[in-house]
Structure 1
Amino acid sequence: MVLKLFRPMALSAITLAFLVFILAGCGSASQGKLVEGKLNVVTSFYPLYFLAEQIGGSGANVINMIPAGVEPHDWSPKSRDLDTASKAQLFLYNGAGLEGWVDDFLQGLPSDTKLMTVEASKDIVKISGNPEGHDDDHDDDEHSHHVDPHTWVSPKSMLIMAKTVLDQFVAADQSHKSDYEANYAKLQTKLTELDDSYTKALNAAPRKDIVTSHQAFGYLARDYGLKQVAIMGLSPDAEPKAQDLLRIAKYVKDNGIKYIFFEELVSDELAKTLAREANVSTMVLNPLEGLTPEQEAKGEDYFSLMKANLQNLVQALQ
C-alpha cells in the first residue's frame, strides 16, 4: 500500500536537511507482449518476475508490469496493463498490502477472462510494521501498525513463495508440469543454499542491529536474528518525525552502529544526513523491489543482489 503520511515536525538541523528527497518517478506500462503457444504470465514486480522466469523456463512468457528503475510503492497500472493481463493465463502479485491497486485491477478485468490469479505471499506468516518507520518499542498506538509486505527480502520467505508460484504454474498448465517441477527443484536448491549462507554468516556476526532508510527488512531480521531500526516506514515515502530521527541518531551512537543502510530506487539524502549527524558511514542494502536499468544491463538478479546484501550486512555487523 502507498502510505503518504505527513505530520508537523519541529525544525532541527537534522530535519531541515531532509525535507525534500527525490523518489523514483512513476513508470509507464509494461513493455512485454503476449506470445501465442506459451503460458503467458504477468507479474506485479521484480521478485515475482524472477520466480516466474526461473520456474517457467522456456515454456512461459513472463511480463513484468513495472519497468526497471521504478519503485513499486509509487507505481499504479495503466489501461494497457489491464488489457495485457486480461489476455494472459496467470497473474502473480505479492499481496500483504504491497499493491494497493490490485483489488480495483482485478475487478476491472473483463468477465470472460480466463486469467488465474495468485497472492504469492499467502502462505507466509506475516509481521507488522509501523508506516512511519519508528521503532515498535516506542509506539503505543496499536492502530498505527500495518502488515509488512516485504516478504521476498528473506530467502526463507522466498522459498515459500517459490512453492506457491510452482503450484500455480502447474494448475495453469498441466502439460508442462514436469518441466516446471524440474525448474523449481533447481531454484529451490539455490534458494536453500542462499538461506544457509545467511544463517551461517549472520549467526556468526558479533552485532545484530541494522539501521535502514526504509522499513523493508523485517522478514530478513525475523528469520536471521537481527533487529531493524528504520528511518522511514513500510513505504519509502512515509515521512519520519523529527523526534524519531533524533532518537535514531542517538541509538546509532549509543549502540556503536557503524553504517546506515540506504537503497538505490529512492533518494539516499535522508540516510546520508543521519549518517553525518551520527558520524558514521552509509552502505547499500537492497530491498530488491526492482532492478535499476544498470543492474538489468549487467545481468544482475535476485541471487547476485542478495549475495551482495549479505556481504554488506556482514561488514556492517562486525
Structure 2
Amino acid sequence: MKKTMLATLTIVTALAMAGCGTANTANTSPQTDEGTSKIKVYTTLYPLEYAAKRIAGEYADVANIVPAGVEPHDFEPTAKDMVALSSADLFIYNGSGFEAWVDNAVKGMDKNKTTVVNTTEGLSLLEAAGGHDHDHGHEGEAAEAGHDDHKEGSGAQGHEEHKEGSEAQGHEEHKQDAAAATGSTEEHAHEHEHDHGGTDPHVWLDPHVWLDPTMLKAQAEKIKSALVEKDKAHAEAYEKNYQQLAADLDQLDKDFADMVSKSSKKEFMVAHSAFAYLAKRYGLEQVAISGIDPADEPSPSEMKELVEHVKEHNISYVLFETLASPKVAEVIAKEAGVQTGTLNPLEGLTEEEAKAGKDYLSIMKDNLEMLRAALK
C-alpha cells in the first residue's frame, strides 16, 4: 500500500491520455446474446471480482486489475492499467484505505461514464490491529466508536485492553495501550467499529471484511445495485444471480458457525492480522505474528514471546498464507514443536489456484477445514 510521487504522476498522465483509449475500445466491446454491448467492470480485489462475476453473469465483462499471484498490499497500477480503467462502466473497490492508489485514480475518471463503487462505505469496520508491535496480534473483540461506548467482543474472558489508534496518511501511527486484568495476564485488543467506510483519514481501518461471509454479502449487494443502476435492462437477472450468491454465503456462514460451536478451542495463530472479521463473527480470537501488512516481521524478542505463547496456550498449528513468505511462521512452529498449515486471506488467487478453478467459496471451505483442525 505504497504511495509514491512516481505512481501519482503515472496515474495522472495515463488518465490524461485515456480519452483516445476509451474511444478505441468503445466499438470493440464484446456482445451479449441479445446483440448489445456488455458493460465493462473492473475490480481491485479478488473477492470483489468473484462477487461481480457471479452477479453480472453473461451481461458484463469483469476483470480484476491486480493480476493473479500479486500481493495487493504492494500493487501499483501501470499506465496501461489506468488506460484500461478509464474505459470502465463500473469501477469497484474495497475501500477502508486498502488500495492506496485508488484516490488518485478516481479523481481522473469521467464520472459521466464510470460509476465508482466503494463496497465498504457505510459498513461497520474494525480498527486495524498493530500485530506484534502493539498487542501481540490478539483480535476478535470490538468496541463501538463515535461515542466512547465500549463493549466486550468475541473471545473476551472478563478482561479488556483499550486501545486508541490513528494514522495520518501513512506518515505516523500513535497507539496507546492500557490493559486491565481481572485474574488473568493475557491481553486482548479492542477494535473500533466505524460506519463511515474508511473516510476518516486519522483512523487506520482493517480492510479484510470479505473473510466474514455476511460482510461480503453486504458488499455484493452494493455491486448488484450498481449493476442494476448501470444496466436496468438486465435488472431481473442481476437480482436473481445476487440471490443465488447470497444463499451460498448464508450457507457458508452457517457452516462456519456450526464448526466453531463444536470446537474445543477458540484461539488460532496466523501469519498476519487478516482474520479479525472472521474471528469476531464466530467468537474466535486470532493471534497474529505481524500486523495488517504481511511484510512486517517481529523482533527476536517478540519471536520468543510468540513461541512461548504457542506452548502456553496449547496452539497446535501456526497458519500462514499463499501470497506472502511463510518463513517466520515456519520458524515459530519449528521452535514450538507444532505443525504449520495454510489459512488463505483471499486477497488474491495464486496462479496455481486460478488454473485449478479455485474460487472464493471453495477456498473458504478449505479455510473452514483448516480451522477445524487448528481448533481441536
TM bracket (short chain):
0.7 to 0.9
Partners in 2 of 1:197 and 1:141 — Cα distance?
Answer: 34
Moved more, 211-220 or 79-88: 79-88
Kindly tell me: are residues 245 and 281 of structure 1, through their superposed partners in 2, closer, same or farther at Cα, counting changes over 3 Å?
same
Give the number of aligned pairs.
Answer: 288
CA drift at 1:189: 0.8
Q: Which has the higher strand share?
A: 2
Q: Is 1:305 paired with 2:299?
A: no
Q: Is the 8 A contact 2:130 2:137 kept in 1?
A: no
Q: Which amino acid aligns with 1:114?
A: K
1:107-256 aligned at under 5 Å gives the runs 107-109=107-109, 111=110, 114-133=113-132, 134-135=136-137, 142=165, 143-144=174-175, 146-256=204-314
- Rounded to whole Å, the distance in 1 between the matches of 2:374 and 2:246 is 28
CA contact (8 A) 1:49 1:63 kept: yes
**1:92 aligns to what?**
92
Residue 40 (structure 1) aligns with: 40
Structure 1 residue 269, shift from structure 2 partner:
0.6
Query: What is the Cα deviation at residue 251 of structure 1?
Result: 1.2
Q: State the Cα deviation string for residues 268-301 of structure 1 (Å, max 9, x = none).
A: 1110001111111100000011111111111000
TM-score by length of structure 2 reads 0.73
CA distance in 1, matches of 2:2, 2:130: 10
* Distance in structure 1 (CA, Å) of the matches to 2:208 and 2:67: 19
Which is worse superposed, 300-309 or 168-177? 168-177
Q: Would you say the 8 A contact 1:132–1:239 is kept in 2?
A: no
Q: Write the distance in 2 (CA, Å) between the matches of 1:78 and 1:131.
A: 30
Please list every run of 5 or more consecutive structure 1 residues that lacks an aligned counterpart in the other structure: 4-32
Measure, in 2, the Cα distance between the counterparts of 1:254 and 1:204.
22
**Contact 1:209-1:317 within 8 A present in 2 as well:** yes
Deviations for 1:50-75, whole angstroms, at most 9, x for unmatched residues?
01000000001001111111110010
Contact 1:69 1:265 in 2 (8 A): yes
Identity %: 38
RMSD value, Cα: 1.9
Q: Find the counterpart in structure 2 of residue 269 from structure 1.
A: 327
Q: CA deviation at 1:243?
A: 3.1
Q: Using the alignment, how far apart are the partners of 1:112 and 1:248 within structure 2?
A: 49
Given the two structures, how large is their TM-score scaled by the length of structure 1? 0.86
Deviation at 1:240, TM superposition (A): 2.4
1:315 maps to 373
Q: Which has the larger radius of gyration?
A: 2
Q: Which runs of 4+ in 1 moved over 4 A?
A: 136-141
Kindly state the Cα deviation for residue 120 of structure 1 after the two structures are TM-superposed. 1.0
Asked if 2 retains the 8 angstrom alpha-carbon contact of 1:263 and 1:287, the reply is yes
Bigger mean CA deviation after superposition, 281-290 or 168-177:
168-177
For residues 247 and 220 of structure 1, the distance between their equivalents in structure 2, rounded to whole angstroms, comes to: 24
Q: Distance in 2 between matches of 1:245 and 1:108?
A: 45
